């Protein structure tokens, strides 16, 4: 319990003090958003201090619960940050306010500059991941993938039907095998391609919808988060599944903004690709379709006819493999290697784990994004 308090209370204090010090009225949604950003920024900065200042590799959440003295010191330092931030913001608003005459040329130069900086940042992160593709060490599941793609396409489909994964990823891996031969770097490159696509997506469509800060955060998560560091290289389907679910969510967002046939088509295509990549991805996109139908039926946000049509297209497209899914569920029932559902406590422990140091650098970017939201009125 003390671990949860140490993580959650200081950001709440920061939001309360900020409203009094900065004297900026916010909506309930604005307060929730600021609290969420503060929660991530404060605790990731604390992780950064622990990682690089004290060379601590212990699980943060577990350590907070186990050692009361450590939890008290952690919360005290986090409280100092929480109190200091609103005063720093007020100082910046009063002393560093800048008057800018906006025109098209200035706006264009600012856009190009930010694009160039984020582009260089993205290129560096991608190259750091690319440098790892020449590692020829493979573990058991990767060896299964490499063995499966030596077969013909019908044999691959038959083999994966007897496994616990759909076949789409193995088609990509088979193509790399046919193009480059039995090369370890080519297999790793297949898993890295989604990272490159996410970077391009972040620099284009995602940037246009959500802005520079959100694009930079997406690039950071795609290249430096713990799971990304592992799965951008692993010869398995997880990076592709993450890409397709991301694209599916983006198209759902576009549908809610403006209903166009193209967005519905891309929504169905990306959801089918996700479902044919991993069964957990199928579960993820099922929630998206449930949300779409709910909004069509009860909130009238979208056309019910289009929502039903897209759902039927998805069902029809997945029907050939649905029979295989039912047989797989029947076969592994009671004998699957994942036997329990993680508790909230275990999920928090995973989220705030110090296992991967690069994730701590994401704190700096999140903090920068938070700071950029505190712009004075021009």
Instruction: Give residue 363's pLDDT.
Output: 43
Instruction: Give residue 61's pLDDT.
Output: 65
How far apart CA 159 and CA 175 sit, in angstroms, is: 17
13 pLDDT higher than 50: yes
What the block records as the tokens of 85 is: 């931030």
Structure-derived torsion over alpha carbons of residues 66, 70, 74, 80, reported in degrees to the nearest 10: 150
pLDDT higher for 314 or 45?
Answer: 314
How far apart CA 75 and CA 2 sit, in angstroms, is: 10
Instruction: Give residue 373's pLDDT.
Output: 47
How far apart CA 40 and CA 359 sit, in angstroms, is: 11
Instruction: Give residue 376's pLDDT.
Output: 41
How far apart CA 291 and CA 306 sit, in angstroms, is: 14
What the block records as the tokens of 42 is: 């404060």
Question: CA-based angle 340:341:344, to the nearest 5?
Answer: 135
Cα distances from 248 to residues 212, 253, 266, 269, 271, in angstroms, run: 21, 9, 8, 8, 6
C-alpha radius of gyration, the chain, whole number: 24
93 contacts: CB under 8 Å, gap ≥ 6:
22, 374, 376
Task: Note the pLDDT tens digit of each residue in 246-258.
Answer: 999 999 999 998 8
pLDDT higher for 111 or 322?
Answer: 322
169 pLDDT higher than 70: yes
Residue keyed to tokens 């997506």: 201
110 pLDDT higher than 60: no
pLDDT higher for 35 or 94?
Answer: 35
At 58, is the pLDDT very low, low, confident or very high (cuts 50, 70, 90)? low
166 pLDDT higher than 90: yes
Residue keyed to tokens 């959440």: 61
Q: Say what the pTM is.
A: 0.68
Sign of CA dihedral 305, 310, 311, 316: positive
Low-confidence winner among 109-113, 165-169, 219-223, 259-263 (lowest mean pLDDT): 109-113
Across residues 13-21, what is the average pLDDT? 80
Task: Note the pLDDT tens digit of each residue in 68-109.
Answer: 777 777 778 788 888 887 787 777 666 654 444 444 444 554
At 142, is the pLDDT very low, low, confident or very high (cuts 50, 70, 90)? very high
pLDDT higher for 318 or 56?
Answer: 318
Across residues 59-70, what is the average pLDDT? 69
């Amino acid at each position: 319990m003390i671990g949860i308090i140490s993580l959650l209370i200081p950001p709440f204090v920061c939001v309360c003090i900020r409203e009094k010090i900065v004297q900026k009225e916010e909506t309930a949604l604005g307060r929730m958003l600021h609290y969420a950003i503060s929660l991530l920024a404060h605790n990731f900065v604390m992780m950064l201090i622990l990682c690089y200042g004290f060379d601590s590799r212990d699980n943060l959440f577990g350590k907070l619960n186990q050692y009361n003295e450590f939890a008290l010191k952690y919360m005290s330092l986090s409280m100092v940050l929480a109190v200091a931030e609103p005063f720093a913001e007020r100082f910046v608003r009063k002393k560093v306010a800048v008057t800018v005459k906006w025109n098209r040329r200035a706006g264009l130069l600012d856009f190009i500059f930010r694009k160039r900086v984020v582009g260089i940042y993205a290129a560096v992160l991608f190259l750091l991941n690319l440098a790892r593709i020449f590692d020829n060490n493979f573990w058991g599941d990767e060896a299964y993938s490499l063995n499966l793609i030596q077969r013909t396409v019908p044999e691959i489909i038959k083999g994966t039907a007897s496994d616990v994964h759909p076949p789409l990823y193995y088609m990509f891996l088979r193509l790399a095998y046919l193009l480059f031969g039995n090369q370890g770097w080519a297999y790793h490159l297949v898993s890295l391609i989604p990272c490159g696509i996410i970077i391009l997506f972040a620099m284009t469509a995602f940037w246009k919808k959500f802005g520079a800060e959100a694009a930079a955060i997406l690039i950071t998560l795609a290249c430096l988060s713990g799971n990304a560091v592992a799965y951008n290289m692993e010869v398995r389907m997880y990076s592709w599944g993450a890409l397709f679910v991301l694209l599916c969510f983006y198209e759902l967002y576009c549908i809610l903004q403006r209903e166009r046939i193209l967005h519905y088509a891309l929504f169905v295509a990306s959801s089918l690709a996700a479902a044919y990549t991993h069964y957990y991805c199928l579960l993820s996109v099922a929630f998206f379709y449930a949300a779409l139908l709910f909004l069509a039926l009860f909130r009238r946000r979208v056309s019910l006819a289009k929502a039903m049509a897209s759902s039927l297209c998805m069902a029809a497209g997945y029907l050939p493999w649905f029979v295989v899914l039912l047989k797989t569920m029947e076969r592994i029932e009671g004998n699957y290697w994942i036997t329990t559902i993680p508790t909230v406590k275990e999920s928090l422990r995973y989220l705030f784990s110090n296992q991967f140091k690069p994730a701590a650098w994401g704190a700096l970017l999140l903090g920068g994004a938070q700071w950029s939201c505190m712009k004075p009125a021009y």
